[in-house]
């Protein structure tokens, strides 16, 4: 019996479109997913869970508003490009983040960036 932890059975067309948007916009140039990418911006593997905790279950709406914004978002002094995504594009990105967030991480931390760990531990 295989112990597949990839969550591949939950890949939908929306997840695929979200992954394409992720790649086309070079999101890994700033962010990490599953520990891969850059450390300029937050790790996004469990971003929906994290934002749901912070914003009383409104994580998806927060992400959607950031992705659809026509002005750059500047959290903690770091500037994120204004992508001005359509509602469908933002929903596809959310589907991608939901799918990634359901992958079994086999006990690995949900926050992988050493900078983020330092901030949380202080």
Answer for the pair 68, 57: CB distance below 8 angstroms, yes or no: no
pTM score > 0.75 for this model?
yes
For 63-85, write each residue's pLDDT tens digit: 999 999 999 988 777 889 999 99
Q: Is 18's pLDDT higher than 70?
A: yes
Nearest Cα residue to 35 out of 26, 24, 25, 46: 46
Structure tokens that stand for 34 in this block: 């599953």
Instruction: Give the best-scoring range by mean pLDDT among 8-12, 15-19, 41-45, 105-109.
Output: 15-19
DSSP one-letter string for the chain:
-----S-GGG--HHHHHHHHHHHHTTGGGT-EETTEE-SSS-B-TTHHHHHHHHTTT-HHHHHHHHHH-SS-B-GGG--B------HHHHHHHHHHHHHHHTS--TT--S---HHHHHHHH-
- For the domain that residue 54 is a member of, what is the CATH number? 1.10.760.10
Is residue 30 in some structural domain? Answer: yes
Give backbone dihedrals phi and psi of 73, rounded to 5 degrees, phi first: -95, 135
Is residue 45 in some structural domain? Answer: yes
- Cα separation, 4 vs 49, whole angstroms: 22
- Cα separation, 29 vs 66, whole angstroms: 17
Give the domain extent around 108.
Answer: 11-121
Structurally, how many domains does the chain consist of?
1
What is the reported pLDDT for 122?
47
Is residue 27 in some structural domain? Answer: yes
Is residue 5 in some structural domain? Answer: no
- Cα separation, 90 vs 66, whole angstroms: 9
């Amino acid at each position: 019996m295989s112990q597949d932890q990839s969550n591949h059975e939950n890949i939908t067309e929306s997840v695929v479109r979200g992954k394409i948007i992720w790649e086309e916009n070079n999101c890994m140039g700033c962010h990490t997913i599953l520990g891969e990418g850059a450390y300029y911006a937050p790790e996004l593997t469990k971003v929906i869970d994290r934002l749901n905790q912070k914003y009383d279950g409104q994580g998806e709406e927060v992400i959607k508003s950031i992705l659809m914004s026509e002005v750059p978002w500047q959290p903690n002094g770091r500037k994120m490009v204004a992508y001005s995504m359509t509602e469908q594009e933002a929903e596809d990105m959310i589907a991608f983040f939901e799918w990634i967030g359901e992958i079994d991480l086999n006990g690995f931390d949900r926050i992988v960036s050493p900078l983020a760990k330092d901030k949380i531990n202080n």
